[in-house]
Amino acid sequence: MLKPLCEQNGIPVYGLYVNGQWVASAQEVLAPDHSPADNALIAYVHQASATEIEAALHSAQCAAKDWANTLVATKEALFFRLREVILARRTEIQQLLIRESGSAFKKALWEIDYVIDLIQTMVGEIRRISGETMPTTIDGRVSMSFRQPLGVVLGICPFNSPFLLTMKKVVPAVAAGNAIIIKPSEETPLSGLLIADLFEEAGLPPGVLNVINAAVSDVSPALTEDPRIKAITFTGSTRTGRLLAEGAARGLKRITLEMGGKGPLVVLRDADLDAAVRAATFGAFLHQGQVCMAGSRVIVDSALHDEFCTRFVERAKQVRVGPPDQEDTVVGPLIRLSQCAFIAGQIEDAVSKGAVVRCGGTHDGPYFAPTVLSGVTPAMRIYHEESFGPVVSVLRAQDTQDALRLANDTAYGLSAAVMTENLRDAWYFAQNIEAGMVHVNDSTISDEPHVPFGGVKSSGFGREGGRYSIEEMTELKWVTFQTGKASFPF
């Protein structure tokens, strides 16, 4: 059980995790942590000062050297223990995700199951961190490459799947032999601290993992531009990602960015309509639409458009909205009430310019009703902007070429999907949609721990998952041996 440092007026107060110790901020600055479901105050969390940031950097740098040289079998044993710790504390993790991030009951369980799969995947990758021998044109030379840990990695994490997406950074970094400092979202600080607690119970050496809670703007220059940080891995908004990329560029640091999305689900005229409706419902409304892969644009061939809208609206109206701790809830609360106002503004703008609200469009506190819009055009904000809520725009395509044009008419390029029974069209879209991931006859939302997850355009660059994470988290070094006497031209 994650234990607080103390209580303040009956509310638990949590510290930071630095060099294997739970510490208070030197400045004793606390931030409140509220539940999105009812805005209840659930905790106070210490915010890092320059003192804790420096301590985290120093301890991570020192720990990285020993951890990089730790035997593979020792690392494997740690992850086996971590898996058992997570399984034993499954209910605690689920309850925190429900309470702190507004994750629905089943979505919270899915996060935990994914992390178990992630750990098992990375245990397999630990023994496959390897290089290769290469032919050479020089007499007597043996040429090879191998991979080495980078050193200290900085992980900046989001609120929407705080357990899964933080572990997706921590587990590969540690498996590759690095130390890591994580900066959880301001909305979900306890989820990051819980991860440190799990690793501590599993026996991770002090300093290999540090958790610094603070606003990104408060810690960004101190961490992103410090020469001890060798790589940054970020999941979050495109705006923040751009700022981080600028800081990383100044320090010539490696950076992996997984940012926003405006995922298209394309429904061609030969598609299975019922399957398309199911895929659209899942892709639009999972976790209140607060998913970077969300299928927030459904592009439907004109031959199916009207019938698709009718069926989709009927299904959207059946989606259960309610408290996230109830097992049948699909759409719970948005992370903050202000997001409802933002989405309502998008809808108002769209309606004023000719869009039609087919269902939803309203909210009760932080609970936004599943919303379907039709008649959306490029003149409307919602055509371009990410909503990060349970709102989907249905667009009419005149033909296959027009559907592809609409799919690519966005600044984003994370995940896309196409519904069709035609293999030629499926392959055409797979090749030509401007996205890092394309799914045929499936939802835009799909992820597995071993696949190359990531996007293009304003959705970011770099890939996470399996060996792709290992490549991002290690340095490739070329080495030669001269077995005879080298000859030189002078």
Do 457 and 118 meet the contact criterion of CB atoms below 8 Å apart? no
Beta bridge partners of 33: 43
Distance, in Å, from the CA atom of 159 to the CA atom of 166, rounded to the nearest integer, reads 9
| Distance from the Cα of residue 89 to its chain's centroid | 22
Task: Write phi, then psi, for 359 (nearest 5 degrees).
Answer: -165, 160
Give the tokens for residue 369.
């009703």
Do 423 and 440 meet the contact criterion of CB atoms below 8 Å apart? no
Distance, in Å, from the CA atom of 377 to the CA atom of 299, rounded to the nearest integer, reads 12
Nearest to 417 by CA among 309, 311, 261: 261
Torsion of CA 425, 431, 432, 438, to 10 degrees: 90
Give the tokens for residue 422.
């035609």
Catalytic residue among 258, 386, 464, 472: 258
Q: How many residues does the chain have?
A: 490
CA angle 231, 235, 238 (to 5 degrees): 105
- Tokens 């439907």 -> residue: 300
Q: Which residues of 281-308 are buried (b: 16+ CB within 10 A; e: fewer)?
A: bbbbbbbbbbbbbbbbbbbbbeebbeeb
Catalytic residue among 100, 111, 292, 464: 292
| Catalytic (active site) residue 54 | no
Burial class from Cβ neighbours inside 10 Å (0-12, 13-18, 19+) for residue 461 reads middle
Distances (CA, A) of 68 to 47, 154, 230, 407: 29, 16, 14, 44
Nearest to 368 by CA among 346, 349, 352: 346
Do 236 and 414 meet the contact criterion of CB atoms below 8 Å apart? no
The helix (H) or strand (E) run that includes residue 232 is strand 229-235
| Catalytic (active site) residue 125 | no
Task: Write phi, then psi, for 472 (nearest 5 degrees).
Answer: -70, -30
Q: Active-site positions?
A: 258, 292
